[in-house]
């Protein structure tokens, strides 16, 4: 529970973080356009997750309908882009996200005024869910505002030397906005009000006796969280040059909860790390297999069971452990990684073979030829009837589990 | 003597059951006033009524002739009444210093310090450090409040109650669950930090009550049966029947 205030080398992490951001900023020089696109989406997801965690992790208000503020920001931006396109007024593309911020802070503030009325805990979550579902239901019926089923599209106007026709321009714009917003949110947690929001999470009932109006103390973080979600939505509109009412669906609301818990809500960057990993995983895995959603679910379950505080804190603990105890800890960490990979590969292999057998194409080929065709997994052809195939799949799971039981005792410290 | 805090004919019903039945209480400026009474007499309910956490079914509460019943708790607090809680109410994951800083923030008008980094708020930080010192928690100031010992947490609770700076202080069982030594230490601390303030304290420990209080009110089944100096309360026939008779022997 307790946030690690003073890690052994806070400065070291700051330097490492700066280096990573610099490396990402240089992405256009060594990454393909496809990867730039994927990473841009990942940064947007990271910004969205940080905005969500500002409300749920820091102020302790779990929002199940956060897609509402993402969507509002996205539509605000697309309308502003259209207005700029029509020549109604002038706003350079890099500043379009400001419209998302404005729409997000208004939407978050208004929703907060209702959601914080007298609800807390589960009731608060239900009210936020209801608000986003309300918008999701109404949106397709308002043609002018949300463009019905098809949505609204526009295009990015050029600004100075940046024509934003190239993926790298969009990528850089998204990265800059994400980093600036992350820094502002990090600073917010360190303002007097940010500390007060944390006190709200810790013990809401105590605050009135210290002279604070709890109601407004809750509405303000809601509005701020909505503002950053709105910026994320605006960036999404810029990236896709379109906005559709499906943005308001529970999918985005669910994804942000998953990202936050996978990354870990107790560390500031945890949700962002979770969002980046899962977005990249989603793109890579959805190319490779149809069952990627299943694997995403399995990863979530496995993580919640073994490292309920999230990936980010697990990684930091491991790094600290290695720094403290040297080569032995490093070896142990590597062994655990290999064991987890073995288990994952075994499970994936078994699932892939079974799901491919169950496809209609495979069944058709089987009835026509009477043969069980071999199936390609990991670029290797496997005969589904051969005991060797299943020995490899089950064997790697068993070996992995045995290795975990032997070396993995100290993973996943109790919360 | 003038009454700083006055309750007139307070009644509080929870559904069918009547917890406070026409209670009247008058607390003098600067006195140390103890409220005692058997379990379930309505002592904590009385505190909640005085501080706005509950609203009376009928009757009124006045702070220096100004009506405060009906106000929400944060406005009662800003009017000058601070309170502590029977069940320790702190911010466990935050440091002791931060707990106290939150408590002094409202006094400095920083209820919405949106654009001020906490470390830069010099006056507030100084004020908070001073208060941490007064409740003798300087040594553990950087520890998470949840890691303190029980009696340290109770001291923090008192420190937080002092934070908003009101001159009427309501402490709900500040020594409950403490050993004799801890209780004596806490009584001394309370006497020290409340000098010049008006104190109303709920207490079960009779040695604490008699060593701390200028006057004692005895609350039995939602009514004040007597308010008097400690010696007079000790001698009061009705009090002995209603309360001391069954409880004091054991204490």
DSSP B222-249: TEEEEEE-HHHHHH-HHHIIIIIHHHTT
pLDDT at site A351: 87
Interface contacts A/B by beta carbons within 8 Å: 106
- B182-228, pLDDT tens digit by residue? 898 999 999 989 988 999 999 888 888 888 899 999 888 888 888 88
**Average model confidence (pLDDT) across chain A:** 87
**With contacts defined as CB-CB under 8 Å, which chain B residues touch A5?**
95
Query: Where are any strands of DSSP class E within chain B?
Result: 3-14, 17-28, 32-36, 58-63, 66-67, 81-83, 168-172, 198-202, 215-220, 223-228
Return the residue of A nearest to B120 by Cα: A191
**Over residues A401-405, mean pLDDT:** 86
Check residue A90 and give its pLDDT: 84
Interface of B with A (CB under 8 A): 51-53, 72-74, 77-78, 82-83, 85, 89-95, 98-99, 101-103, 105-107, 110-119, 121, 124, 144, 146, 160-161, 163-164
Predicted local distance difference test score (pLDDT) of residue A415: 39
B10 closest CA partner among B87, B68, B64, B94: B68
Determine the pLDDT at residue B110: 64
Residue A270 has pLDDT above 80, yes or no: yes
Question: Looking at the structure, do residues B93 and B215 belong to the same domain, yes or no?
Answer: no
Residues B60, B5: one domain? yes
CATH number of the domain within which B20 lies = 3.40.50.300
Best probe of the B interface among A202, A211, A265, by most B CBs < 10 A, is: A211
Do residue B12 and residue B65 come from a single domain?
yes
State the pLDDT confidence band at A318, using cuts at 50, 70 and 90.
Answer: confident
Burial A52-83 (b: 16+ CB within 10 A, else e): bbbbbbbbbbbbbbbbbbbbbbbbbbbbbbee
- Our count of domains for chain B comes to 2
Structure tokens, A119:
């609800």
For residue B97, tell me if it sits in a domain. Answer: yes
B92 and B68 in a common domain: no
| pLDDT on residue B34 | 92
Condensed to tens digits (0 to 9), the pLDDT of residues A246-264 reads 899 998 999 999 999 999 9
Share of chain A above pLDDT 90, in %: 44
Residue A324 has pLDDT above 90, yes or no: no
Report pTM.
Answer: 0.89
A26, A30, A35, A40: CA torsion to nearest 10: 10
What CA–CA distances, in Å, run from A137 to A110, A140, B52, B184, B200? 18, 7, 41, 64, 55
Residue B189 belongs to a domain: no
Asked if the model's pLDDT at residue A69 lies above 90, the reply is: yes
**Residue position matching structure tokens 């169950």:** A358
Q: What is the pLDDT of residues A75-130, one digit of tens each?
A: 999 999 999 888 888 888 889 999 999 999 999 999 999 888 866 778 888 999 99
pLDDT at B243 (0 to 100): 65
Task: pLDDT band for A412, please (50, 70, 90 cuts).
Answer: very low
B94 and A212 within 8 Å at the Cβ level: the answer is no
* N-terminal to C-terminal alpha carbon distance within chain A: 7
Instruction: Say yes or no: B149 and B173 in one domain.
Output: no
* pLDDT at residue B245, as a whole number: 56
A205: closest CA of chain B, how far (Å) = 8
Q: Tell me: do B24 and B49 sit in the same domain.
A: yes
Give the nearest chain B residue to A221 (CA atoms). B114
- Whether residues B242 and B207 share a domain: the answer is yes
pLDDT at B246 over 60: no
Which residue reads 């997750």 in tokens?
A49
Q: Say if the Cβ atoms of B89 and A205 lie within 8 Å.
A: yes
Is residue A232 within 8 Å of A51, Cβ to Cβ? yes
**For residue B251, is pLDDT > 60?**
no
- Beta-carbon contacts of A213 under 8 Å, excluding residues fewer than 6 positions away, are B72, B74, B111
Same domain, B71 and B125: no
pLDDT 10s digits, A352-399: 888 888 888 888 888 888 778 778 788 778 887 788 888 888 889 998
CB atoms under 10 Å from CB of B179, counted, come to: 11
For residue A378, CA distances in Å to A343, A402, B183 come to 15, 23, 70
Same domain, B36 and B141: no
Domain residues for B137?
87-165
* Residues A205 and A113 sit within 8 Å (Cβ to Cβ): no
């Amino acid at each position: 529970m307790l946030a690690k205030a003073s890690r052994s080398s806070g400065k070291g992490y700051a330097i490492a973080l700066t280096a990573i951001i610099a490396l990402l900023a240089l992405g256009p020089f060594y990454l393909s356009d496809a990867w730039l696109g994927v990473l841009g989406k990942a940064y947007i997801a990271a910004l969205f997750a940080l905005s969500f965690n500002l409300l749920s992790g820091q102020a302790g208000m779990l929002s199940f309908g956060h897609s509402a503020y993402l969507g509002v920001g996205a539509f605000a931006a697309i309308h502003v882009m259209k207005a700029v396109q029509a020549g109604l007024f002038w706003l350079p593309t890099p500043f379009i996200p400001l419209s998302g911020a404005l729409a997000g802070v208004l939407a978050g503030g208004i929703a907060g005024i209702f959601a914080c009325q007298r609800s807390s805990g589960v009731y608060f979550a239900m009210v936020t869910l209801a608000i986003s579902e309300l918008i999701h239901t109404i949106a397709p019926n308002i043609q002018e505002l949300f463009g019905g089923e098809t949505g609204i599209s526009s295009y990015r106007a050029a600004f100075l030397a940046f024509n934003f026709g190239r993926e790298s321009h969009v990528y850089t714009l998204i990265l800059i906005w994400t980093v600036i917003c992350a820094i502002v949110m990090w600073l917010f947690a360190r303002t007097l009000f940010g500390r007060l929001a944390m006190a709200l999470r810790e013990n809401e009932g105590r605050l009135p006796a210290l002279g604070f109006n709890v109601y407004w103390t809750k509405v303000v973080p809601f509005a701020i969280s909505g503002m950053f979600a709105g910026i994320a939505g605006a960036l999404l509109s810029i990236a896709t040059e379109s906005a559709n009412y499906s943005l308001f669906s529970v999918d985005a609301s669910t994804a942000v909860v998953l990202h936050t818990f996978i990354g870990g809500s107790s560390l500031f960057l945890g949700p962002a790390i979770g969002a980046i990993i899962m977005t990249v995983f989603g793109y890579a895995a959805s190319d490779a297999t149809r069952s990627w959603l299943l694997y995403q679910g399995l990863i979530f379950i496995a993580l919640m069971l073994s490292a309920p505080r999230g990936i980010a804190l697990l990684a930091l603990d491991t790094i600290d452990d290695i720094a403290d105890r040297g080569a032995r800890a490093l070896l142990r960490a590597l062994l655990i990684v290999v064991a987890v990979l073995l288990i994952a590969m075994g499970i994936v292999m078994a699932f892939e073979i079974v799901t491919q057998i169950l496809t209609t194409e495979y069944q058709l080929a089987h009835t026509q030829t009477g043969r069980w065709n071999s199936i390609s997994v990991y670029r290797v052809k496997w005969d589904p009837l051969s005991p060797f195939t299943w020995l490899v799949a089950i064997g790697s799971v068993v070996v992995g589990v045995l290795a975990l039981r032997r070396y993995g005792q100290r993973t996943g410290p109790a919360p | 003597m003038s009454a700083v805090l006055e309750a007139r004919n307070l009644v509080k019903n929870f559904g069918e059951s009547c917890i406070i039945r026409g209670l009247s209480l008058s607390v003098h400026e600067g006195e140390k006033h103890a409220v005692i009474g058997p379990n379930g007499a309505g002592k904590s309910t009385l505190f909640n009524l005085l501080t706005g956490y509950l609203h009376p079914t009928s009757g009124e509460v006045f702070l220096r002739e100004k009506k405060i019943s009906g106000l929400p708790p944060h406005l009662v607090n800003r009017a000058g009444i601070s309170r502590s809680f029977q069940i320790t109410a702190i911010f466990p994951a935050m440091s002791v210093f931060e707990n106290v800083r939150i408590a002094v923030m409202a006094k400095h008008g920083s209820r919405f310090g949106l654009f001020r980094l906490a470390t830069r708020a010099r006056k507030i930080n100084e004020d908070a450090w001073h208060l941490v010192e007064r409740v003798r928690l300087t040594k553990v100031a950087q520890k998470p409040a949840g890691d303190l010992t029980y009696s340290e947490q109770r001291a923090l609770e008192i420190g937080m109650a002092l934070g908003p700076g009101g001159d009427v202080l309501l402490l709900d069982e500040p020594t409950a669950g403490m050993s004799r030594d801890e209780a004596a230490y806490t009584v001394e601390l309370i006497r020290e930090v409340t000098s010049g303030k008006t104190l109303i304290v709920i207490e079960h420990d009779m040695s604490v009550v008699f060593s701390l209080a200028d006057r004692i009110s005895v609350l039995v089944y939602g009514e004040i049966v007597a308010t008097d100096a400690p010696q007079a309360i000790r001698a009061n026939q009705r009090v002995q029947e209603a309360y001391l008779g069954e409880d004091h022997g054991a204490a």
